């Protein structure tokens, strides 16, 4: 069983040298355990935070141990009555080819139905990133039909799901993404009303002007994935009583500072700004997954994926994700 471990912690930017591939024999299954062969591994921005020593909302990734990560795959052997060989499952198997899972731990392994939803989407639109979009939109922004809502990193795993969920609620949805190809995709294939390429703007004032054109009635709700210049630009266009769901600050994950230019707007516009961690809200997952599964199953949400081939490709694909090289949900295909 090949696996990728965290070998040493990044000093500043993360590099491929922080990771190491190792090989270990698979242990014998004990009662209650299930052996899963991973088909896809999920790469997610949160993994960057775990690579640091400092305490965040989650404990750091231990050195020398398999990198944490969501996985989908197939059960190959089981000593648990609820799982049998051939079951398709989603879990947190990590950056490795196989995992042995104690299936008695609640939520450790979940069977999924691939009749209408391809297996890989359970790591994206119909998985953790989709629920993230759902939570921020429904529980924090809580938009009314006709309101204007925005999202940064719009073409990504979270952003694309957000667009479909907001359209389903009758909102005007405007995305912000890096590059013309991503923006074209956001409008033409994801059905956003508009998308702004932040890379065409040298500062937040210029980006904010473009937002004024795309959001003539101002911004009622915003879902932040990036931070920095993007958040500054959005804040300038917010309406009174705007709600901002703070989901991610990816522009700062490698250590860049993220100052806020106009914090007084929080007061002037009586804004609600709320950060959240999706894994702390397990109570919404069933309802959110149900809606997301229907959107994908009926073709209303057609998420795009960037697929790296083979476990050895995981570190470079992950570093690329932190630089916007992915286009849609970043996965690693193992089988």
Write out the residues near ligand NDP by the rule CB under 6 A: 44-46, 129, 132, 153, 155-159, 177-178, 182, 225-226, 247-248, 250-251, 276-278, 321-324, 326, 329
Nearest C-alpha neighbor of 38 from the set 4, 7, 15, 10: 4
Closer CB to ligand NDP, residue 88 or residue 327? Answer: 327
Closer CB to ligand NDP, residue 98 or residue 204? Answer: 204
CB of residue 48 vs ligand NDP: minimum separation in angstroms?
Answer: 8
CB of residue 128 vs ligand NDP: minimum separation in angstroms?
Answer: 6
CB of residue 108 vs ligand NDP: minimum separation in angstroms?
Answer: 19
Question: Alpha helix (H) ranges present in 193-247?
Answer: 204-214, 229-236
* Contact yes or no for 26/1 (Cβ under 8 A): yes
CB of residue 325 vs ligand NDP: minimum separation in angstroms?
Answer: 7
CB of residue 329 vs ligand NDP: minimum separation in angstroms?
Answer: 6
* Contact yes or no for 330/317 (Cβ under 8 A): yes
Closer CB to ligand NDP, residue 75 or residue 140? Answer: 140
In Å, how far from its chain's centre is CA 45? 7
* Four-CA torsion 176, 181, 184, 189, nearest 10 degrees: -100
Pairwise CA distance, residues 321 & 306, whole Å: 10
Closer CB to ligand NDP, residue 83 or residue 135? Answer: 135
Which residues lie across from 88 on neighbouring strands? 74
CB of residue 131 vs ligand NDP: minimum separation in angstroms?
Answer: 8
Closer CB to ligand NDP, residue 143 or residue 163? Answer: 163
- DSSP conformational letter for 136: I
* Contact yes or no for 156/183 (Cβ under 8 A): no
Secondary structure (DSSP) of 43-89: --THHHHHTSSS--SSPPPPTTSBPP--EEEEEEEE-STT--TT-EE
Closer CB to ligand NDP, residue 27 or residue 252? Answer: 252
């Amino acid at each position: 069983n090949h696996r990728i471990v965290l070998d040493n912690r990044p000093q500043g930017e993360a590099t491929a040298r922080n990771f190491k591939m190792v090989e270990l024999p698979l242990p014998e299954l004990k009662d209650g355990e299930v052996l899963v062969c991973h088909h896809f591994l999920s790469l997610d921005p949160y993994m960057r935070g775990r690579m640091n020593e400092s305490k965040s909302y989650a404990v750091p990734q231990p050195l020398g141990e398999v990198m944490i990560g969501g996985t989908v795959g197939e059960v190959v052997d089981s000593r648990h009555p609820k799982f049998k060989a051939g079951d398709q499952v989603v879990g947190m198997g990590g950056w490795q080819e196989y995992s042995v899972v104690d299936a008695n731990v609640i939520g450790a392994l979940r069977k999924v139905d691939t009749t209408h939803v391809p297996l890989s989407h359970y790591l994206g639109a119909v998985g953790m990133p989709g629920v993230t979009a759902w939570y921020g939109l429904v529980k924090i922004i809580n938009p009314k039909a006709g309101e204007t809502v925005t999202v940064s990193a719009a073409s990504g795993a979270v952003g694309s799901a957000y667009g479909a969920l907001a359209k389903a609620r009758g909102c005007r949805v405007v995305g912000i993404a890096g590059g013309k190809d991503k923006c074209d995709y956001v409008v033409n294939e994801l059905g956003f009303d508009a998308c702004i390429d932040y890379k065409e703007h040298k500062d937040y004032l210029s980006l904010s002007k473009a937002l004024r054109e795309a959001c003539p009635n101002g911004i009622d709700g915003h879902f932040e994935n990036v931070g920095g210049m993007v958040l500054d630009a959005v804040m300038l266009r917010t309406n009174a009583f705007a709600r901002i769901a703070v989901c991610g600050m990816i522009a700062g994950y490698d250590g860049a500072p993220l100052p806020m230019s106009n914090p007084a707007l929080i007061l002037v516009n009586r804004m609600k700004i709320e950060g959240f961690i999706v894994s702390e809200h397990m109570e919404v997952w069933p309802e959110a997954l149900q809606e997301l599964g229907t959107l994908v199953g009926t073709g209303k949400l057609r998420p795009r994926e960037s697929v790296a081939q083979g476990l050895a490709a995981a570190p470079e694909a992950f570093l690329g994700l932190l630089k916007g090289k992915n286009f849609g949900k970043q996965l690693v295909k193992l089988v």
